[in-house]
A and B are shown apart, each in its own frame.
With several copies, the nearest count.
Chain A
């Protein structure tokens, strides 16, 4: 998991505007390489998300998109939801990092509902996946019950079609290309065959 988070964090350059989903993605902010400074967007209405506040210094008007107390860094700014999604849908976010239930070799993403079971709603995810310049999925390679998540074709309702660019899991890094998924990196200690065995989609291997 630590590898996954660190690996995602290597995808950014200083000045990038990034929106991090709830869960694993949020941890990315604390794992950035030395010297890299990104600008975090929180879709509930500000840029310049800072670290969690000190105990006793919480401000009930300053919470992140997960509803947790947050801070705003110097140079940050606040806006309404219309501006927030103008930023997101308008292509002004360089990258978003989101979790997934399923992702497939066409770059389709399913992350917001399991029919008859879990329907929390899509929140801002559909806009983020459509609008961000790069969509990075950060997740465990397989489900807790062992079910496959990197598929030939998503079976759950989609969050968006053909928008995913990169999939980073605990097993490796996969790029979505017009010719399917290219495994660019394998987590140290694993083999290509081991990753493919946990993946429904066909992987081609091309180390960078």
Chain B
């Protein structure tokens, strides 16, 4: 059962050294206010699992810039040069994973699967150190589940039972990560009463969600 809590209370559960999943795709669908609070709190030594590390300047990128992360599992880091710099300088351990593989690994963890066989990465350095299996004459890589201590998500709408609805391309990794973490925190734009979301409209069942955090309106900063 989800609880509506303050930003501070929710992020108090994010501790040094934890493995953190964060939804979003180059910022779209990333829970910016939750991320800002993680930075603010100064949590360090995180293992971050995310599609990317945002665009330099956005909330996601700050996790890297402010050195909250010691290990990164992602599919693409080209939009945040600081990630590449830290990687090249051996300040950050980076594991790059094909996007379709990463999302299936997360799904496998959530769905209780011991792994999945994918053709992606065969014949590339991605296959290094991995078990290969041949099924019906085709080679596949065995990719293992990826689980996290905490998932930080962004949703468009939620009811007080924790049911989540995402909007447009902001859905991306969010509903998959919701299944694969011990603790799930969602930053939500609109929170409504139980019964106001049609059962068929729900994209993440409320049983996956622990904390709801109401997105706060922010003052727009105008230069000058």
Q: Do chains A and B touch in the complex (CB under 8 A)?
A: yes
With A15-B1, A44-B172, A122-B96 as given contacts, are A87 and B124 in contact (CB-CB < 8 Å)? Answer: no
CB-defined interface of B155-182 with A at 8 Å, one 1/0 digit per residue? 0100111010011111111111001000
A122 to B77, CA, bound (A): 9
Q: Does A36 contact B (CB under 8 A)?
A: no
CB-defined interface of B84-119 with A at 8 Å, one 1/0 digit per residue? 100100000000101111011001011111000011
Query: Residues of A within 8 Å of B, CB-based: how many?
Result: 59
Partner of B121, one of A47, A75, A79, A126: A126
With A81-B172, A127-B98 as given contacts, are A121 and B78 in contact (CB-CB < 8 Å)? Answer: yes
The answer to whether B28 touches A60 (Cβ under 8 A) is: yes
Residues of A within 8 Å of B84, CB to CB, are: 119-120
A-B contact number at CB 8 A:
200
Q: Does A197 contact B (CB under 8 A)?
A: no
The answer to whether B28 touches A121 (Cβ under 8 A) is: no
CB-defined interface of A54-89 with B at 8 Å, one 1/0 digit per residue? 000001111111110010101111111111111111
Partner of A67, one of B27, B75, B166: B27
The answer to whether B175 touches A75 (Cβ under 8 A) is: no
Query: Residues of B within 8 Å of A, CB-based: how many?
Result: 67
Which of B111, B159, B169, B203: most chain A Cβ within 10 A?
B169
CB-defined interface of A6-46 with B at 8 Å, one 1/0 digit per residue? 00000000110100000000000000000000010011111
Give chain B's interface residues, CB within 8 Å of chain A. Answer: 1, 25-29, 51-52, 55, 74-79, 84, 87, 96, 98-101, 103-104, 107, 109-113, 118-126, 156, 159-161, 163, 166-176, 179, 194-195, 197, 199-200, 202-203, 205-208
9 A-B pairs in the complex with CB atoms less than 8 angstroms apart: A63-B25, A78-B199, A79-B171, A80-B175, A90-B112, A120-B76, A122-B99, A158-B123, A161-B123
